Amino acid sequence: MTEKQTANDRVEVQQSEIATKATSKQAFQSRLLVGLLTVSLVSLFVASYFAGQAGALREQVTTSQSQFQQAIANHPFQAPIKSVNASAAISKEKFSMATGFLSDRAEGLFVLDHNSGLLQCSVIYPRMQKFLGLFTVNVHDTLGQSKGGEFMMMTGMVDVPSSNNNPVGSSVVYVMNTSTGMYACYYIPFSRTMMNSNAPQQGALVLLSTGSADPIVNRDNLR
């Protein structure tokens, strides 16, 4: 009788353990399901929030663009200008000065001494904040001396092939002898590669072409 009761007790204990394990498993599955549902709800809430913010931002951008276009339509001459590239020139009794772009980041300062005929182009390197480029020529060799030492000078843009072996800046410089009407155009052998490596450079301004402001046409040269 005792052995039979002991066996029954063992069976009951095993059944109790199995029931306990089943209950624990169900509880874990329930907690897992609740956790997944919570994460899903939070994700949906976050997605809805950012979608609403994006929609509001798009609406603000659209409104701003409409207001900007309306402002331009109402005031066409007051529209903002993205950038302005300009050169300047001035002449006095003894000197002439002008500026001209040699690259998208460098500008040349041209100074002409009317008495000596020395024309200098000094280039400042933006990153170094120093004049590290210098190109010179004597315009008297081409244009002769001017009576009273009067010259005019200005710069212009040029788009010609450039390479490391034959560097060319983006500007040319024009010089006129006001007493004779003769003028000359020089280009600047400016190296962008040397500027990018912060290497000093110097050389001679190169004569590109000459002309005359004399209104008399030489028909023999036109044949």
Task: Say whether 64 sits in a helix, a strand or coil.
Answer: helix
Q: Cβ distance 173 to 119 under 8 Å?
A: yes
Give me the phi and psi of 217, to 5 degrees please.
-90, 125
Check residues 4 and 132 and name the one with the higher pLDDT. 132
Domain ranges within the chain, ordered by starting residue: 2-78, 89-213
Query: In the structure, what pLDDT confidence band is assigned to residue 82 with cuts at 50, 70 and 90?
Result: very low
- What residues does 134 pair with on adjacent strands? 122, 202
Tokens of 45: 């809430």
Mean pLDDT of 169-181: 92
Tens-place pLDDT, residues 22-68:
566 666 666 766 666 676 666 666 566 656 655 665 666 566 556 65
- Rounded Cα–Cα distance for residues 57 and 29 (Å): 42
**E-assigned strands of 147-221?**
151-157, 171-177, 182-187, 201-204, 206-212
Predicted TM-score (pTM) of this structure: 0.57
Mean per-residue pLDDT, 116-135: 94
User: Does residue 1 register a pLDDT over 60?
Assistant: no
What is residue 159's predicted lDDT score, i.e. its pLDDT? 80
**130 Cβ contact list (under 8 Å, min separation 6):** 124
Q: Tell me the CB-side half-sphere exposure of residue 20, using CA atoms within 13 A.
A: 6
